[in-house]
Structure formats: structure tokens, C-alpha cells
Amino acid sequence: MPTQTIYRKLPVELSDEELAKRAAELAAKELEKDRVEEQKKAVGAPIAGLKLAIRRLSQVVDTGTEEQEIPCDEIFDDDRFEVRIVRQDTFEKLHERPYTSLEREELLDRKQEHLPFVVGDEPEKKNGKKQKTLFDAKPVKVGPKDATPAPDELERRGQSLQKIKRGKKAGTRKTKSKEAMA
């Protein structure tokens, strides 16, 4: 099955060290916001960005999780015509969906590449000669012309094996007599 790596923002459980680091960042942003608010009239600094950062860090500290770019495998299951997305760190299945029409077409193209030829294509030339294809094949006769059918086939036709054998012998004699006459 073909697989490719993609990245998605997914919740990740933070360690105690990472959580403490984010809490320190939150406190630093709070202090910075207070300083900027004091200087707001003189400097006119944008506080909105700091408020957004504070909100984000507060949520991280509160939940203990944070959205991070995590490598995921996008697994194309050609047998089930499905695509599964699986985290590489925990191997958790995140999403499963059916193939899109474009993905089905790509699958057909991949499978057709393994065929000896595509209808409408000219066969490749080897040693300056055109290669034969299935379209160039002649019908093959199996068995001799006078082969005796199987007994169950004879029953289906309503004939017996003796009648068939007598007919063949008679046909053989007629052929010989015609040859003798010539």
C-alpha cells in the first residue's frame, strides 16, 4: 500500500517540564501586557496580539495539552478503496475516508501500468519488427478434427458412441473410395 507522511496539528500531552515552561511563558506575557498597557498611551503598542497569546497559553496550562505539528501516515488501502490517517508517534487512527474519484482513477492508472499493453497503443518494436499482441492471435483448434465427444456430451445430443464410430468409419471409407477413383 502506498504511504506518504503528512503533518497535522493534534493535541499532545505535555510533560511536567513542558507544562512548567508554558506556565512561565504565560507569566512573562502577563507581565509584558501590564507594561505595554502602562505605556499604551505613549507608545500605542498593539495589545491584541498579547491578549491572544495569553489566551492560548492559558488554555494550554489549563488543559495540559497543546496543538503541535505531528507527522502522520496517510495510508492508501487499494483493496478497500480507503485512506487512513495514522499518527506516527502513537499509531492512533485519526481518520478514515473512502477514495475520491481522482484517487480511484490514479489507482486504475497504476494497475494499468502493469498490463503488457493498453488498448489503442501500438505494440513496441523489437529488432525493427512489430511485436504481436493479443489482437494478432489466431484461434487455436484443440484436438483432432475427428475427435470423439465425451459420453455425457453424446447423451446430451441424444447420440450413442456406436453411431458416432460407425459414421466415422463410413466417412473414412467414402474418402478412400473417392481417392481411389481419382
Pair (90, 156) in one structural domain: no
Per the structure, the count of domains in the chain is 2
pLDDT for position 44:
54
SS3 string, the chain, reads CCEEEEEEEEEEECCHHHHHHHHHHHHHHHHHHHHHHHHHHHHCCCCHHHHHHHHHHHHHHHHCEEEEEEEEEEEEECCCCEEEEEECCCCCEEEEEECCHHHHHHHHHHHHCCCCCCCCCCCCEECCEECCCHHHCCCCCCCCCCCCCCHHHHHHHCCCHHHHHHHHHHHHHHHHHHHHHC
Whether 122 maps to a domain, the answer reads no
pLDDT for position 75:
92
pLDDT for position 82:
92
Whether 117 maps to a domain, the answer reads no
Whether 9 maps to a domain, the answer reads yes
pLDDT for position 52:
86
**pLDDT mean for each 10 residues of the chain (182 residues):** 86 91 92 82 66 89 90 91 92 92 87 64 59 60 59 63 57 49 50
Record the pTM: 0.40
Which residues constitute the domain of residue 17?
A: 3-112
